[in-house]
Amino acid sequence: NAGVMQNPRHLVRRRGQEARLRCSPMKGHSHVYWYRQLPEEGLKFMVYLQKENIIDESGMPKERFSAEFPKEGPSILRIQQVVRGDSAAYFCASSPWLAGLNNEQFFGPGTRLTVL
């Protein structure tokens, strides 16, 4: 059973470009979470999605950031008009059902975004 897959592993963008980060959850998992890790910091929650639904986006910046988890295909975190402050590692995690019900979140290897 393959783990959580993220691609690309490294992404370089110039200011003003768009960044698309992809996450394929573990097989059988229908819950996806995105976290951001700034340099020298812990991970911070961004958004929680189930198939075709955004459940909690309280950690997402109000502008330029969006996320989706379609019925088919990977979850996408999209950052429009990137700025240098968006440079960070972005982690995706998945779980088969509610993590609060004794199921852990399994993390992918992360995508390191660098904005020039």
Partner 1 sequence: AQTVTQSQPEMSVQEAETVTLSCTYDTSESNYYLFWYKQPPSRQMILVIRQEAYKQQNATENRFSVNFQKAAKSFSLKISDSQLGDTAMYFCAFLKQGGSEKLVFGKGTKLTVNP
Closest CB to partner 1 among 25 and 110?
110
The full length of the chain comes to 116
Q: How far is the CB of 16 from partner 1 (least distance, A)?
A: 27
Closest CB to partner 1 among 42 and 85?
42
Q: What is the rounded end-to-end Cα distance, in angstroms, of the chain?
A: 37
Q: Residue 100, SS3?
A: helix
CB-CB contact of 65 with 36 (8 Å): no
Q: Where does this chain bind partner 1 (CB under 8 A)?
A: 31, 33, 35, 40-45, 48, 55-56, 58-59, 89, 91, 93, 95, 98-102, 104-105, 107, 109-110, 112
The residue among 24, 37, 69, 32 whose CA lies nearest residue 48 is: 32
Q: How far is the CB of 77 from partner 1 (least distance, A)?
A: 15
Closest CB to partner 1 among 14 and 40?
40
The structure tokens 């059988």 sit at: 28
Q: How far is the CB of 38 from partner 1 (least distance, A)?
A: 10
